[in-house]
Amino acid sequence: MALDSAQATRAATMDKIVALCKRRGFVYPGSDIYGGLANTWDYGPLGVELKNNIKQLWWKTFVHRRPDMIGLDAAILMHPKVWEASGHVVNFNDPLVDCKTCKSRFRADHLLEDKLGIGDAATKTPAEMTAILQDANLACPNCGNRTLTDARQFNMMFSTTIGPVSTTSQRVYLRPETAQGIFVQYKNLLATSRVKLPFGAGQIGKAFRNEITPGNFIFRVLEFEQMEIEYFAKPEESAAAFESWLGAMWAWIRLIGLDDAHVRVREHSREELSHYSSRTLDFEYDFPGTMGWKELYGLANRTDFDLARHQETSGVDLTYFDQAANTRYLPHVIEPTFGVERTFLTVMLDAYDEEETVDVNGKADTRVVLRLAPRLAPYKAAVLPLARKPELTAVARELFTTLQDELDTLVDYDETANIGKRYRRQDEIGTPFCLTVDFDSLEDGAVTVRDRDTMAQERIAIADAPAYLRHRVR
Ligand code: ATP
């Protein structure tokens, strides 16, 4: 496949990111000592920091800093009627194809797209997909035999039971999206928060989907986190709210440091729209290699579909009383939705860089550097005594404690290995600044600050270090 210019100049490949994530403690395969459980991943010491930084920044940006937004943290398990009302029991299906020989499973629409180049595959019925697959006599991508079954619908919700397994136990679902928690609490949110239209509720939480063909590292997993907003507006103002959220989502993409050239917006065709949507846009990211453009985030106009369905199913009046107009109506809902894992992955892919340089002995070397936006970096700075000598480590430890306290953020301390190796380690994990305490520090009360991106070094007074960093790591 020919690479476009943006791809050609990128250092990151999925394999390099997976390897770095494991090597440096960002992401490990789930249940690793048991050989792993397919498509589950655990976040290590640095991964959990990056993930938390993403979620905190999102919450600050979209909930704390907006007067028209409030927060919610709804339960994962919800009344089964929620999923009947939302349409998930009937509509939340993916078309599944099995290989009779090797038992591999595939999404029929993905086979049509990836193997036969059919762009609008998602709009086709299982029968249409089956006919196309049969006409093409497509071989199983795994074993090469021409033994693919017909496409059939497969519901993606995980289910479990509440109570001991008996006739009295209740079947419930693990939520496949966080959105429904907001719709179901809409009346309570309205009654208890003094909000008026337009307003929105934001929520961050786990969602679960029994994906047929998960994969591509953490891009498509069974258990993931969503950062979702349901924004309630007057029906006639919902189109304007949609445009305004489109701008807010672009601003977020820039805030987390993604390159505009790697992100595009794709409008769903009429046939492709979900059952609840009158308009949907996907923010797509240009993933490296053969993966190409895939969904990063979504923005949908869910109209009054969800509130109307919950009103009908629960029998509870969910209309909004508009005092100014003295009328009642169901608001329309704009939904910006963000995946935490896809944010994590794209931030890592965009930040990853390799630079040709020379090592301390003057030999050619490649420097791997993670150019993370400082506000997302797991460590904002690292304090490094030049040598493991008590007089240096005492000063370094004191500086480390001061920085942790005054910046109220995570700082690393490392006194192992030679200084060159320690710089490289910090480069690879995206630490924006290294502060080195050397023998001169004992005389002049200053340290050397090394910039991760430029490797430029400057000398600053130890006393000025918190203020120096505070402005640079926000
Ligand atoms: P896709 O087309 O990739 O399956 P979707 O359209 O089903 O995604 P939405 O229902 O819009 O996704 O979910 C909202 C967001 O949640 C997505 O934009 C994505 O960031 C994230 N997401 C959805 N499914 C997964 C998954 N299986 N693993 C990780 N993140 C996911």
Same domain? For 105 and 247 the reply is: no
Domain count, the chain: 3
- Between the CA of 149 and the centroid of ligand 1 the distance, in Å, is 26
Same domain? For 188 and 233 the reply is: yes
Show pLDDT as tens, one digit a residue, over the chain (474 residues).
334 444 557 889 999 999 999 999 999 999 999 999 988 999 999 999 999 999 999 999 999 999 999 999 999 999 999 999 999 998 888 899 999 999 888 889 989 988 898 888 878 888 999 999 999 999 999 999 999 999 988 899 999 999 876 666 788 999 999 999 999 999 999 999 989 999 999 999 999 999 877 679 999 999 999 999 999 999 999 999 999 999 999 999 999 999 999 999 999 998 888 888 899 999 999 999 989 999 999 999 999 999 999 999 999 999 999 999 999 999 999 999 999 999 999 999 999 999 998 877 888 989 999 999 999 999 999 999 999 999 999 999 999 999 999 998 999 999 998 999 999 999 999 999 999 999 999 999 999 999 999 999 999 999 999 999 998 987
Q: Is the peptide bond between 198 and the residue preceding it cis, with omega within 30 degrees of 0? A: yes
d(CA 223, CA 193): 31
Same domain? For 398 and 464 the reply is: yes
Domain boundary residue, one of 136, 155, 174: 155
Strands in 7-66 per DSSP E: 27-29, 41-43
Q: Which pLDDT belongs to residue 196?
A: 93
Same domain? For 170 and 130 the reply is: no
Q: Which pLDDT belongs to residue 154?
A: 87
- Between the CA of 295 and the centroid of ligand 1 the distance, in Å, is 7
- Between the CA of 224 and the centroid of ligand 1 the distance, in Å, is 9
| Pocket perturbation via mutation, ligand 1, pick of 109, 174, 224, 227 by most ligand atoms within 8 A of CB | 224
Q: Which pLDDT belongs to residue 105?
A: 87
- Between the CA of 226 and the centroid of ligand 1 the distance, in Å, is 8
Closest-CA residue to 201 (of 211, 193, 209):
193
- Between the CA of 339 and the centroid of ligand 1 the distance, in Å, is 7
| Pocket perturbation via mutation, ligand 1, pick of 109, 252, 295, 341 by most ligand atoms within 8 A of CB | 295
**In terms of DSSP H, where are the helices of 94-160?**
108-116, 126-136
Tell me the CA distances in angstroms from 316 to 184, 199, 309, 310, 445, one per residue in order: 10, 21, 11, 8, 68
Same domain? For 384 and 421 the reply is: yes
- Between the CA of 381 and the centroid of ligand 1 the distance, in Å, is 33
266 forms beta bridges with 282
Q: Which pLDDT belongs to residue 168?
A: 67
Nearest-CA residue for atom 28 of ligand 1: 220
Q: Which pLDDT belongs to residue 8?
A: 53
Same domain? For 321 and 246 the reply is: yes
131 backbone dihedrals φ, ψ, rounded to 5°: -60, -45
Q: Which pLDDT belongs to residue 114?
A: 87
Nearest-CA residue for atom 22 of ligand 1: 339
Q: pTM of the prediction? A: 0.92
Domain boundary residue, one of 305, 326, 347: 347
Give the range of the structural domain holding residue 265, as residue numbers without chain letter: 5-82+161-347
Domain boundary residue, one of 105, 138, 155: 155
Ligand 1 first shell, C-beta below 6 A: 177, 209, 211, 220-221, 224, 226, 295, 297-298, 337, 339, 341-342
| Spatial contact of 216 and 188, defined as CB atoms under 8 Å apart | no
Q: Which pLDDT belongs to residue 166?
A: 64
Same domain? For 105 and 60 the reply is: no
Q: Which pLDDT belongs to residue 214?
A: 62
d(CA 400, CA 279): 51
Same domain? For 106 and 210 the reply is: no
Same domain? For 390 and 467 the reply is: yes
Q: What is the dihedral of CA 122, 123, 127, 133, to 10 degrees?
A: -50
Amino acid at 57: L
